[in-house]
A and B are shown apart, each in its own frame.
Chain A
Amino acid sequence: MSSLAVRKAAPAAGTTPGTAQGPPLRRRIALVPTITLLLGALYCLLPVAWVVIASTKSGSELFSTFTFLPGTGFAENLSDLSAYRDGVYWQWMGNSALYAVLGALLSTVVSSFSGYALATYRFRGREAIFNVLLAGVLMPPVILAIPQYLLLAKVDLTDSYLSVLLPQILSPYGVYLARIYAAAAVPSDVVEAGRMDGASEWRIFTRIALPMMIPGLVTVFLFQFVAIWNNFLLPYIMLSDDEKFPITLGLHTLLEQGANTPALYTLVITGAFLAVFPLVALFLVVQRFWSLDLLSGAVKS
């Protein structure tokens, strides 16, 4: 309620700069959302700050020194982590990268095909397919992991790279997003014009529609990348060979080593800290495509 009132008040204050009440009102307006956002930012960033600082602490400093006091053991933690079982951590990192990059890429391709088809072609059963997809969006992927395992076991694909990749290629949410985006960003006039000029459907898709869909597909790629990078249960059920583990699973095995072995907290914290970097880097790189999204919207209208 209060935010609605604030929104209404804002243009009023802007359009009548002469009134004496203008400036103090505006200041009060900015305060509430700013504080809310700051609290939100604090809530999100505090755990990150904890991981960053904790990863610099050596084993003996971890629980004994003040929480937000940086430690002295980062280099040591890093070398311990790299040395753990002949550098299996980097193998996990590589596996995660493979699953996430390849999986997200293939998923984006599949989503773009099906999203475009669902948006531009009218065919019998289109709505039915779309409704099934919507149901898939509502279904948490977690509950599919065990049935997927049993299915892949029938074709002897468990404990392989494919067993983790295959189930993540078809993302209902990705297809849904691609369809919504294609319907909004690819005008049917443009597709018609392409047909008039004698372009094949494939050519229309790759040369005309695909470039228009890029910003939406980048979003699909990002979502899927993050989902695969953070996925735990599917690889947990599928894989038994720890050389194929992604990073989530690897760090879990470092924590759960049995009652008589202390959990390797420093290694896990340092490992979790490093595992955030690829995601941060990805978002920084991909931001450019999102600003392109705004531009294309402006041109269209």
Chain B
Amino acid sequence: MPNTKRRRLFEIAATTVAVTLGATALAACGSEDDGDAQSGPVSLTYWTWTPGMDKVVDLWNKGPGKKEQITVTVKKQASGDTLVTKILTAHKAGKAPDLVQAEYQALPTLVSNDALADISGEVGDAKGKFAEGVWQQTTLGTDAVYAVPQDIGPMMFYYREDLFKKYDLTVPMTWDEFAETARKLKKASPDTDLTTFSANDSGLFAGLAQQAGAKWWTTEGDKWKVGIDDAATQKVAKFWGDLVEEGAIDNQPMYTPAWNKALNTGKQIAWVSAVWAPGTLSTAAPDTKGKWAMAPLPQWSGSENVTGSWGGSSTAVTTDSGNKEAAAKFAAWLNTDGEALNALAKESGIYPASTSAQLSGAFTTPPDYFSNQADFYTQAAEIANTTAPSAWGPNVNVAYTSFKDAFGAAAKNKSDFTAALKTMQDDTVADMKKQGFEVAE
């Protein structure tokens, strides 16, 4: 089964390359030989966008790397979809770096283009160090392992503690209570909003759908199945669409100067976000430091306890690497070694995927912005543990772009969100067919 799947993925890769490159002859797709002769010193290049990564890699080069004669060089990149394109372009020329940082939702795209090496033999033991839902994202449901998880973004609910008290609001435990809270606030203070529905970061909506149990991409035999327009996602879309339509929450996009101002001046008093929110809040709303608190994400039913994830990335080894074994060794060290994870937290401010690191070192005290909430990271680790599994496909970027366009317009016009969801589903399926994937209807 995994064997046929691998071959299938390779066929898909070949089609995609042929489609995108026209007549370019795809001679040898990287070196397929397994004889990674490990003799003498090895030097590896690593594309990453994480700030401060060069300092963390220095620890490797001076410590375990020196012993094993494996030197890693960081080449800092800009994050985002464009980096995936850059990696694939380099891979077409056989020049991808040995190691790349990749967001979880980008892994299927990279794997279907045969850009990532299966490192299950080298890093399979690391499985126990991560939550199951996190590890599953690096295997794509196969026996292979395509990356080692680095950081995760479990979603949470952030709110202004002082203003919740002022307006006599309680922290919502369910989404129904969330809607009630929004309405109550509107009544108490008409020019204040609980939060906004923003369509400019698709990751947020994907995370919310994931929490509701949506599985956007699944495989059925040799075919892909796209479930963007499934019942769970429809529920989420309708929920937010109704709130926007009745004016209970704002419909302006986030990450704009106006949004920053609204947070900073208490015109918006809550934000559905992820574990990395303190960093964003400290630049967006510097004047409200110490006035926020974090709580678990509201649930769809009182008995549930799940969250979605928004963001997070992994370290992968490319098929172009001539030293896959050495590269995998480094990837495992970077994301499981205590010293490395401590340095990553300190230098780069990431929230580690490794469960043991979530409560040690830098995470024993709350982030500076949340100094009022002493158990911030204890709670965060508990929430991270409830992360629902995710199901990414080979054209997440297309679905995300479609989301931004369709939902952006729907939020602006306060029109039907479920119609926008249908558009997103149709765009995604059409693109997969165009790329040569077989899609089950």
List residues of chain A with CB under 8 Å of any chain B CB: 59-60, 62-64, 146, 149-150, 153-154, 158, 236-237, 240-242, 249, 252-253, 255-263, 265
A257 touches B264 (CB 8 A): no
Which of B93, B282, B312 gathers most chain A CB within 10 Å? B93
Main secondary structure of the interface of B (DSSP, over half): mixed
Q: In angstroms, how far is the closest chain B Cβ from the Cβ of A163?
A: 11
A64–B284 Cα gap in the complex (Å)?
9
A63 touches B284 (CB 8 A): yes
Least CB separation from A252: chain B residue: B78
A240 touches B92 (CB 8 A): no
A265–B280 Cα gap in the complex (Å)?
12
B47 touches A240 (CB 8 A): yes
B75 touches A260 (CB 8 A): no
A253 touches B77 (CB 8 A): yes
* Cβ of B283 under 8 Å from chain A: yes
Given B89, B349, B350, which contacts A237 in the complex, CB threshold below 8 Å? Answer: B89
A60–B284 Cα gap in the complex (Å)?
8
Q: In angstroms, how far is the closest chain A Cβ from the Cβ of B413?
A: 27
B86 touches A237 (CB 8 A): yes
B151 touches A260 (CB 8 A): yes
Q: Please, what's the 1-or-0 string for B203-215, where 1 marks a CB less than 8 Å from any CB in chain A?
A: 1000000000000
Contacts known (A259-B203, A260-B151, A260-B276); A59 close to B350, Cβ less than 8 A: no
A236–B284 Cα gap in the complex (Å)?
29
Contacts known (A260-B151, A261-B349); A63 close to B264, Cβ less than 8 A: yes
Which of A59, A153, A258 gathers most chain B CB within 10 Å? A258
Residue numbers in A under 8 Å from B75 (CB-CB) = 240-242
Q: In angstroms, how far is the closest chain B Cβ from the Cβ of A290?
A: 37
Given A60, A149, A259, which contacts B93 in the complex, CB threshold below 8 Å? Answer: A149
* Cβ of B330 under 8 Å from chain A: no
Question: Of residues 288 to 314 in B, which have CB atoms within 8 Å of A's CB atoms?
Answer: 310-313
B311 touches A153 (CB 8 A): no
B86 touches A59 (CB 8 A): no
A125–B261 Cα gap in the complex (Å)?
64
Q: In angstroms, how far is the closest chain A Cβ from the Cβ of B381?
A: 16
Residue numbers in B under 8 Å from A64 (CB-CB) = 260-261, 264-265, 286-287
Question: Of residues 1 to 43 in B, which have CB atoms within 8 Å of A's CB atoms?
Answer: 24
Least CB separation from B286: chain A residue: A60
Least CB separation from A261: chain B residue: B51
Least CB separation from B20: chain A residue: A146
B79 touches A256 (CB 8 A): yes
A122–B32 Cα gap in the complex (Å)?
54
Question: Of residues 74 to 91 in B, which have CB atoms within 8 Å of A's CB atoms?
Answer: 75-80, 82, 86, 89-90
Contacts known (A63-B261, A257-B79, A260-B350); A240 close to B93, Cβ less than 8 A: no
Least CB separation from B260: chain A residue: A63
Q: In angstroms, how far is the closest chain B Cβ from the Cβ of A40?
A: 26
Residue numbers in B under 8 Å from A252 (CB-CB) = 78
A153 touches B93 (CB 8 A): yes
Residue numbers in B under 8 Å from A249 (CB-CB) = 78
* Cβ of B247 under 8 Å from chain A: no
